[in-house]
């Protein structure tokens, strides 16, 4: 964790750039294509012999500003944007893997990431395995001769269990394997996986980076050579491209990342204490509540974050009743929004994961997931309290 960064100043800096209009906010370059001053220039740009924009599916100034901003925040050489988090994840995995390869994953992943792994196995013979990745012996044992990369979420969606990025990276690198970390639940403000040895960081930028519930987007950052390879293959030729206007909205959202997250993190701690003490609540899932969490948090996380999962004593029915009685907190999937959002993973975000697999991940039928918004914490707590009562 870099502690001497002035994060708010940094956010203001990386999301703007000087431009020919001297506009405070960078212009939105809403164009599909770019003109070449001559046929020769066009040919040189295509050959990679000359810098310059060609076509927005390859690159665009507004999108480029978003990509470089996230790369700087994550401490990475370069970044690449996509039309969704799943677009980013699939572009990275299809770039790094081919038929016959194996991907080692954290046991517990977002539902559609799990779906993508099944698709890669069933249609493209790219296999995967899951591991808690908690001890050195466990990580070593989970690596097979075909393993070509390690993919993990920390905290895991929605169980909020943690993985030690540094420990995984050390062992993976011994075997020559790149480590990909989905940093969606933390944002670069709370966790910078590259600084702990990760090779690629992916985000659903739909969440904390955008922050306002108005954009679906993804981003991946890492070494410049890999990012360029992704740009020229699984971005260019598959095409999950980010629209310039969406990049512009993301840049606007990112300027307040730290203001939003500080509020959300503070509120989450209050709500965790409230829920843990409430007689109707059976179990709260939150970083810091499991043995071993403290160690990992000290190493790689600024704060535990603002996602809380919990289970009520009355199980799935009680969870549904709670969700239906809420007045201010919205019943919705997604997360990292300024609004507090609540959802039921087993029937919503993780419904495509077979029940047996869900239980192996520690995702119980009754678990409810709350994404803490920026509303006043008293109001969030009051809403929960009346609904629980």
Binding site for ligand LCS (CB under 6 A): 84-86, 110, 112-113, 153, 157, 182, 184, 204, 206, 216, 218, 333-335, 349
Question: What stretches of 191-327 show up as alpha helix (H) in DSSP?
Answer: 224-230, 244-254, 257-277, 293-300, 315-325
Smaller CB separation from ligand LCS, 59 or 204? 204
Nearest to ligand LCS of 45, 319 (CB atom): 319
Residue 384 contacts residue 310 (beta carbons within 8 Å): no
CB atoms inside a 10 Å sphere around CB 161: 23
The smaller minimum CB distance to ligand LCS, of residues 45 and 196, is found at: 196
Instruction: Please enumerate in sequence order all residues whose Cβ is within 8 A of that of 359, keeping only pairs 6 or more positions apart, or say none.
Output: none
Please state the closest distance from residue 247 (CB atom) to ligand LCS, in A: 14
| Nearest position to ligand LCS, beta carbon | 85
The HSE-up count of residue 309 (CA atoms within 13 Å, CB side) is: 22
Strands (E), 122-183: 127-131, 147-153, 179-182
Smallest CA-to-CA distance from 76 within 207, 228, 215 is with: 228
> What does the radius of gyration of the chain's CA atoms come to, in whole angstroms?
21
Listed residue (325, 357, 358) closest to 342, CA to CA: 325
What is the number of H-type helices and E-type strands within the chain?
Answer: 15, 12
Would you say 155 or 178 has its CB closer to ligand LCS?
155
Would you say 258 or 335 has its CB closer to ligand LCS? 335
Nearest approach in angstroms of CB 373 to ligand LCS is 14
Task: In angstroms, give the least distance from the CB of 48 to ligand LCS.
Answer: 30
CB of 387 to ligand LCS, least distance (A): 20
Closest CB 98 distance from ligand LCS, rounded Å: 23
Active-site residues, by number, are 57, 110, 182, 207
């Amino acid at each position: 964790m870099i502690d001497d960064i002035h994060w708010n100043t940094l956010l203001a800096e990386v999301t703007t750039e000087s431009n020919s209009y001297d506009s405070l906010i960078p212009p939105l370059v809403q164009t599909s294509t770019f003109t070449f001053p001559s046929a020769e220039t066009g040919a040189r740009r295509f050959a990679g012999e000359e810098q310059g924009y060609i076509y927005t599916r390859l690159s665009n100034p507004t999108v480029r500003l978003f990509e470089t901003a996230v790369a700087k925040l994550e401490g990475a050489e370069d970044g690449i944007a996509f039309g969704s988090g799943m677009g980013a994840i699939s572009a990275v995995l299809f770039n790094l893997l081919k038929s016959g390869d194996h991907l080692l994953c954290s046991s517990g992943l977002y539902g559609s990431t799990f779906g993508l792994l099944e698709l890669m196995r069933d249609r493209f013979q790219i296999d995967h395995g899951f591991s808690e990745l908690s001890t050195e012996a466990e990580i070593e044992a989970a690596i097979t001769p075909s393993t070509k990369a390690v993919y993990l979420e920390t905290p895991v969606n929605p169980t909020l269990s943690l993985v030690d990025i540094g420990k995984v990276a050390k062992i993976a690198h011994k075997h020559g394997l790149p480590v990909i970390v989905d940093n969606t639940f933390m944002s670069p403000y709370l966790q910078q996986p590259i600084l702990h040895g990760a090779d690629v960081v992916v985000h659903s930028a739909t969440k904390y980076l955008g922050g306002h519930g108005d954009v679906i987007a993804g981003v991946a950052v890492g070494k410049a050579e890999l990012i360029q390879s992704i740009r020229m293959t699984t971005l260019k030729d598959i095409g999950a491209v980010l629209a310039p206007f969406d990049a512009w909205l993301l840049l606007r959202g990112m300027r307040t990342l730290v203001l939003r997250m500080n509020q959300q993190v503070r509120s989450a701690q209050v709500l965790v204490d409230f829920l843990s003490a409430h007689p109707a609540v059976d179990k709260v899932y939150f970083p810091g509540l499991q043995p071993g969490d403290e160690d990992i948090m000290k190493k790689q996380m600024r704060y535990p974050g603002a996602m809380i999962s919990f289970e009520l004593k009355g199980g799935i029915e009680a969870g549904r009743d709670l969700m239906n009685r809420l007045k201010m907190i919205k019943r919705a999937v997604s997360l990292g929004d300024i609004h507090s959002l609540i959802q039921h993973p087993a029937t919503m975000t993780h419904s495509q994961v077979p029940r047996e697999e869900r239980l192996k991940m520690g995702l119980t039928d009754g678990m409810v997931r709350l994404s803490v918004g920026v509303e006043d914490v008293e109001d969030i707590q009051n809403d929960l309290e009346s609904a629980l009562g």
